[in-house]
Amino acid sequence: MEIPGLKPFRTPAKVDISKGDIRTIVGHLKVCDITDYEIVASNEGSTEVYRPKDFNTIQPTVVKKIKQEKPDKKLEKRINQLEKMVLELSKKPVDDSPKNVEQTTNQTEQFQKQILDAIKNLNVGGGVNEDRRKITEESEDEVAPFIPEIDIEGMKLKNQGEHKTVKKEKGSDDAADALSKLLK
Amino acid sequence: MGKEKNTLAVGLDVGTMNLVASRSDSDDVKITRNVFLTVDKDDILNQLSKISYVEGPDGDTYIIGSDAFDFANMFGKKVSRPMAQGLISAEELDAADVLTLMIKDLIGETGDKEVFCSYSIPAEAVDGDRSVTFHENVFARILHSIGINHKAINEAMAIIYSECAAESFSGIGISFGAGMSNIAVAYKGIEALTFSTARGGDWIDNYVAKDLNMVPNRVTNLKERYMQLDGTVNLGKNKKKNKRVLEALFYYHKALIDYTIKNIIKEFDEKVDIEIDDEIPIVVSGGTSMPKGFVQLFSEMLNQYELPFEISEVRRAKNPLTAVSNGLLIRTAADIKNK
């Protein structure tokens, strides 16, 4: 198996990925459709194990990007179609008879409604290009750490220790003994 | 408890409404509300000496724990809750630092001891769309940041560790919490089934508040002061209005219990392969099960269904508020012994 940034290896294998880029590695495994793996993270005595499903939560960002590109194309296509229809309508010979004026007004109103509906349904605030730029900016903003960093430096806790307390249940030691035997 | 003198076992119940911590070296279990209130320091200057609060690097002030709840009720404000429906709230992610200090304060001084902590996590909800993974990892990071070895344990399993030692840790543990209800079926200490539903005390309060056009905080307050499910009525001062609230609360408690029992039967039928020949107890716990008469109501409603297992009894945890924390402490100590 070859993963970018790692030496090729034969599966099943335990591989040290601490020097690789975790996003690239997980992404590559996904592309290769490999779902049977675990990533073990150890740090100062604590160990955490991550499985493929743990990385599913980062997918919506990717999905969102793909999904949000579609409305642009769809919108452009619909506007082009409407433009064509309006042009064809304008090329038609002008007939000033009252019946035809009424008909044309109705058609124009329908076009106007369709354009407004298209814009409303596709949730577009500005022009097509402006909206695409907005989506790109949003996607870049989303590249934040999955788990928030904890930074309590500079924060002070005042008057601590005023908690409601109740007495602990007796028999916890015996229960722990019994449970440790069952879990062995 | 604790294999070596230099180790400390901790059980930390991370609940939507309360944070509860038990330590192997103390007979006291500490409880605080899992809420905070962002305030302008000038507004509370004369109260500062009496309350617990956090001061941020930019001068931000957060009243934490039970005091936040009291001040919010006083000012008619809504408290910030780091958790919603049993999981870390996406709206309050910036509060992770405040939450870290609250947990550090609750666990207390640990000196030079090596600390091992089991913390509670819910099971995946059968009716929710959020994963537990993120929640689990946020709390792992919080505990790691304050130098504590940690392990995530299902909160309903913790009830079985706390309450079913006499039955060799076989039983059904149900934690009716504020954010969700957690259920675990265990046989001789082995987890056979765990799941949760996204309905708990908050679900009751929110629906009663909507139905009666009230603020949920106010419903919670009335529930905790006057709610009884055993037929006796304590209406307090505002009798007419309170009667409507208590009646609505009664119907929503019944709806919650009924929903939970139906899901236990469904999940057991679909997912449990083992045959449980022995009669097993059901242990009910959690803050939402606190009203007088809750267990009796649960038993009555359970009798209306045919269950896929034999029940020896339905009982309440010795202390529904601290059972999860106690069970987590037992599990941590057992793990230390097996190291």
User: Of A50, A68, A91, at which residue does a domain stop?
Assistant: A50
Residue A89 has pLDDT above 90, yes or no: no
Are A63 and A135 found together in one domain?
yes
Q: Which residue in A150, A156, A164 is closest to B54 by CB distance?
A: A156
Return d(Cα A103, Cα A99) in angstroms, integer. 6
> How far off is chain A from B241, nearest CA to CA, in Å?
30
Average of pLDDT values for B85-93? 78
Write the pLDDT tens digit of every residue in A131-150: 444 444 444 454 556 677 88
> How far off is chain A from B199, nearest CA to CA, in Å?
23
Do B105 and A157 make contact, defined as CB atoms within 8 angstroms? yes
- What residue numbers bound the domain in which B49 lies? 35-80
Write the pLDDT tens digit of every residue in B165-199: 999 999 999 999 988 999 999 998 889 999 999 99
Q: Name the residue with tokens 């309450």.
A: B163
| In-domain check, residue B215 | yes
pLDDT, residue B161, reads 97
Average of pLDDT values for B226-246? 76
Maximal C-alpha separation, chain B: 64
For residue A182, give the amino acid letter: L
The answer to whether A170 contacts chain B (CB < 8 Å) is no
Percent of chain A with pLDDT over 70: 56
Contacts of B1 in chain A (CB under 8 A): 172-173, 176
What is the residue-averaged pLDDT of chain B? 89
Highest mean pLDDT out of A80-84, B6-10, B74-78: B6-10
| In-domain check, residue B280 | yes
Do A166 and B31 make contact, defined as CB atoms within 8 angstroms? yes
Contacts of B39 in chain A (CB under 8 A): none
> DSSP letter string over A9-60?
-PSS-----TTS-HHHHHHHHHHTT-----EEEEETTEEEEE-GGGGGGGHH
Strands lying side by side in the sheet with B61-64: A156-158, B53-55, B61-64, B36-39
Average of pLDDT values for B62-69? 85
Are A6 and A73 found together in one domain?
no
Q: How far apart are the first and last CA of chain B?
A: 14
Are A115 and A69 found together in one domain?
yes
Write the pLDDT tens digit of every residue in B98-125: 999 999 989 999 999 999 999 999 999 9
| In-domain check, residue A170 | no
Do B335 and A182 make contact, defined as CB atoms within 8 angstroms? no
Which residues, at least 6 apart from B275, have a Cβ–Cβ distance to it below 8 Å?
A: none
> How far off is chain B from A74, nearest CA to CA, in Å?
29
Are B202 and B311 found together in one domain?
yes
- Which residue from A minimizes the CA distance to B140? A48
For residue B122, give the amino acid letter: P
Write the pLDDT tens digit of every residue in B284-309: 999 899 888 999 999 999 999 999 88
Are A122 and A87 found together in one domain?
yes
Are B312 and B171 found together in one domain?
yes
The answer to whether A173 contacts chain B (CB < 8 Å) is yes
Do A168 and B27 make contact, defined as CB atoms within 8 angstroms? yes
pLDDT band at B139 (very low <50, low <70, confident <90, very high): very high
| In-domain check, residue B170 | yes
Highest mean pLDDT out of A10-14, A34-38, A97-101, A164-168: A164-168
Are A113 and A41 found together in one domain?
no
The answer to whether A147 contacts chain B (CB < 8 Å) is yes
| In-domain check, residue A149 | no
pLDDT band at A92 (very low <50, low <70, confident <90, very high): low
**Predicted complex ipTM:** 0.85
Are A77 and A135 found together in one domain?
yes
Are A129 and A79 found together in one domain?
yes
| In-domain check, residue B338 | no
User: Does the CA dihedral A49-A50-A53-A56 come out positive or negative?
Assistant: positive
What is the residue-averaged pLDDT of chain A? 70
Do B31 and A177 make contact, defined as CB atoms within 8 angstroms? no
The answer to whether A47 contacts chain B (CB < 8 Å) is no
Are B74 and B207 found together in one domain?
no
Do B337 and A177 make contact, defined as CB atoms within 8 angstroms? yes
Average of pLDDT values for A51-76? 55
Beta partners for A158?
Answer: B53
Contacts of B55 in chain A (CB under 8 A): 155-156, 158
Residue pairs spanning A and B at CB distance below 8 A? 159
Average of pLDDT values for A81-103? 66
Number of separate domains in chain B: 2
Residue A66 has pLDDT above 80, yes or no: no
| In-domain check, residue B113 | no
- What residue numbers bound the domain in which A105 lies? 59-140
| In-domain check, residue A183 | no
Return d(Cα B186, Cα B191) in angstroms, integer. 4
Are A73 and A107 found together in one domain?
yes
Return d(Cα B179, Cα B88) in angstroms, integer. 11
Tokens standing for B54? 């956090």
| In-domain check, residue A92 | yes
| CATH number, domain containing residue B265 | 3.30.420.40
Q: What are phi and psi of A108, to 5 degrees?
A: -60, -45
| In-domain check, residue B134 | no
| In-domain check, residue B16 | no
Are A135 and A63 found together in one domain?
yes
Q: Which residue in A153, A159, A167 is closest to B52 by CB distance?
A: A159
| In-domain check, residue A18 | yes
Are A46 and A65 found together in one domain?
no
Are A67 and A126 found together in one domain?
yes
Number of separate domains in chain A: 2
pLDDT band at A128 (very low <50, low <70, confident <90, very high): very low
Are A16 and A87 found together in one domain?
no
| In-domain check, residue B52 | yes
